[in-house]
Amino acid sequence: MAAVSLKCGDCGTLLKSVEEAQEHAELTSHSNFAESTETVLNLVCSTCGKPCRSKTESDLHTKRTGHTEFVDKTLEAAKPISLEVPKAADAGADGAVDASTSQSEEMVVPEVDKKLLEELEAMGFSTARATRALHYSGNASLEAAVNWVVEHENDTDIDQMPLVPANTNVEASKPSLTPEELKAKQQELRERARKKKEEEEKRTEREREKERIRVGKELLEAKRIEEENERKRILALRKAEKEEERRAREKIRQKLEEDKAERRRKLGLPPEDTSAVKSSAPVVEEKKSSLPIRPATRVEQMRECLRSLKQNYKDDDAKVKRAFQTLLTFVGNVAKNPDEEKFRKIRLTNQSFQERVGALKGGVEFLELCGFEKQEGGEFLIMSRDKVDMVVLNSAGSELDSAIKNPFFGVL
């Protein structure tokens, strides 16, 4: 099989022609070349048209641009390699005609400044577009090539590799700037790109800061609204507690007045002088005295008993809460199982009972208001089956539940 490439024995690079081998030798000082049947890859990017000579080069192009689709045209361009260096045409008359004819048919890619080409490829331009821009801008500078691309980006052949006759004077394609001027121009372009990147980063940071401020304000406003709602809720609870306290005191006052009037009647004393009280008071008292007030009185006594218990042990909320829950358990067991004798009998000397309820002033009194009575020498609290009153037990359960759940019970 005929050789289709030259392979560098020092680094393994495949080269398409003798000219490329010479350039490789000048750049790397490698001199060990041999013919090879391996073809130089020709992977063309489907997106931008950039040709890649190897898998490594295509991977680098993908990493830099994000383009992943390549067309393999290696076999289309593969042909036996010529080991002869092209010679200049003879000046003879006969030879001039033949050389002119052959060179007019041979078109080659124009030579451009390789450093500028690498710079443009690093900026994301395809090899064909970068070569065309450098060729038609006279290899003047990187900025001139970029300006040419901007002006001709809508050309249909913008991504086609330019071709020129082989006898074109290559000197015309060399950059007109000195190396120092070219280096300064490249530095200027890099500085512009750096400043543009910094400005973009600053703008992005400003946007992020604005977003952080906006989110912070929203969180503060949400917290303020939550605190305001909590404050209103607490005020409403305190108001309800005060109203409950006022109604309870009013009922107790009315009951005291009724008891006082009843005692005066039993003693045969005349009614209290109406000049010391409101004119409407006797009528109201007379009406209330005719109503069955016994259940309401017991409920109020239960509430007052619980309030007194909490006031006496206000420095130990855990003990008060445990006592309320224990009382609720005793009352609930009897209400749920009125026929079970074990729930209607409590040993007063039981240590657990003493720690939770018995030793607390008001605990045993509350159970007696529910219907329990001391029996058997005062050792037990017993509620006989015929003394089980579901209305009283339910009222006691409601009062205990309110005392447990209401954080302001007995405080105001």
Maximum CA extent, the chain: 164
Per residue in 76-85, pLDDT (tens digit) is 666 676 665 5
Q: How far apart are CA 412 and CA 409, in angstroms?
A: 7
In angstroms, the Cα distances linking 311 to 44, 409, 410 are 91, 10, 7
Cα three-residue angle 156-157-159, rounded to 5 degrees? 115
Q: How far apart are CA 297 and CA 154, in angstroms?
A: 99
> Which pLDDT score, from 0 to 100, does residue 2 have?
57
In angstroms, the Cα distances linking 403 to 75, 192, 241, 377 are 93, 76, 11, 32
**Residue limits of CATH 1.20.58.2190 in the chain:** 298-412
CATH number for the 99-177 domain, one of 1.20.910.10, 1.10.287.3510, 1.10.8.10, 1.20.5.510?
Answer: 1.10.8.10
Per mean pLDDT, which range of 97-111, 152-166, 242-256, 384-398 is the poorest? 97-111
b (16+ CB within 10 A) / e for 69-105: ebeeeeeeebeebeeeeeeeeeeeeeeeeebeeebee
User: What strands lie across the sheet with 43-45, from one edge to the other?
Assistant: 51-52, 43-45, 70-72
In angstroms, the Cα distances linking 285 to 265, 273, 282 are 13, 14, 5
pLDDT confidence band for 332 (50 / 70 / 90): very high
Please give the mean pLDDT across all residues of the chain.
Answer: 79
pLDDT over 70 (residue 168):
no
At 70, list the tokens: 């390549």
Per residue in 271-296, pLDDT (tens digit) is 766 555 444 444 444 444 444 444 45
**Residue limits of CATH 1.10.8.10 in the chain:** 99-177
Cα-Cα-Cα-Cα torsion 125, 131, 137, 141, nearest 10 degrees, comes to 70
Mean local confidence (pLDDT), 128-156: 84
Q: How far apart are CA 61 and CA 83, in angstroms?
A: 31
Q: How far apart are CA 247 and CA 251, in angstroms?
A: 6
pLDDT over 60 (residue 333):
yes
Q: Which fold has domain 298-412?
A: Methane Monooxygenase Hydroxylase; Chain G, domain 1 (1.20.58)
